[in-house]
Amino acid sequence: MTNEELQKLIEKISSDVFGKPFLHASRFNSRLRTTGGRYMLSCHSIEINPLVLNIHGIDEMIGVIKHELCHYHLHIEGKGYRHRDEDFRELLKQTSSPRFCKPLSDESPKRIIYHLYRCLSCKLEYRRRRRMDVRKYRCGKCAGIIEEMQTVK
């Protein structure tokens, strides 16, 4: 699907579902990573992640377009267009628009790596996501010397 076809699709959905015209630009944006689309407040344009179409198909993309059009029309009308606003939630229900996009990656969440430290005096263990310089810190319980034990996945 090209940007021109996307523009026509958004204009058609806007007039059919909302009964209002979409008068601004739309395009695909492959740099979007975690979201299916976004509405740009400054220029009133809508950007859609092409992965939505590639992974989930046209029906999911239409849902994302309807979601972004809810932001668009409410913002243009001066009503509450944010996710937490009652106007936005009500328009989502009226238009059967999804509140969230389906996940765009098949990867499971990355496992967190912990660094394990232990006090030499009281044997209290510390797990940290980031490494720490053991020369700068002492044990919070007994003020003993801390040593790095291992990295835990």
Task: Give a yes or no: residue 40 inside a domain.
Answer: yes
89/36 same-domain check: yes
Q: Which amino acid would we find at residue 48?
A: I
68/121 same-domain check: no
59/134 same-domain check: no
Please check the confidence at residue 106 and state whether its pLDDT lies above 70: no
* 85: Cα within 13 Å, side-chain hemisphere: 13
Which tokens sit at 133? 């310089």
In sequence order, the 6+-apart residues with CB closer than 8 A to the CB of 11 are: 21, 22
Domain count along the chain: 2
- pLDDT, tens only, 28-72: 999 998 899 999 999 999 999 999 999 899 999 999 999 999 999
19/89 same-domain check: yes
Average pLDDT value for residue range 80-99: 93
Task: Give a yes or no: residue 109 inside a domain.
Answer: no
50/12 same-domain check: yes
- pLDDT, tens only, 109-144: 566 778 999 999 999 999 898 999 999 999 999 999
Which tokens sit at 62? 């239409």
Task: Give a yes or no: residue 68 inside a domain.
Answer: yes
Active site amino acids: 68
Inter-axis angle of helices 86-95 and 58-77, to 10 degrees?
140
47/7 same-domain check: yes
Please check the confidence at residue 108 and state whether its pLDDT lies above 60: no
- Domain encompassing residue 133: 114-152
pTM of the model: 0.69
CATH of the domain at 70: 3.30.2010.10
138/70 same-domain check: no
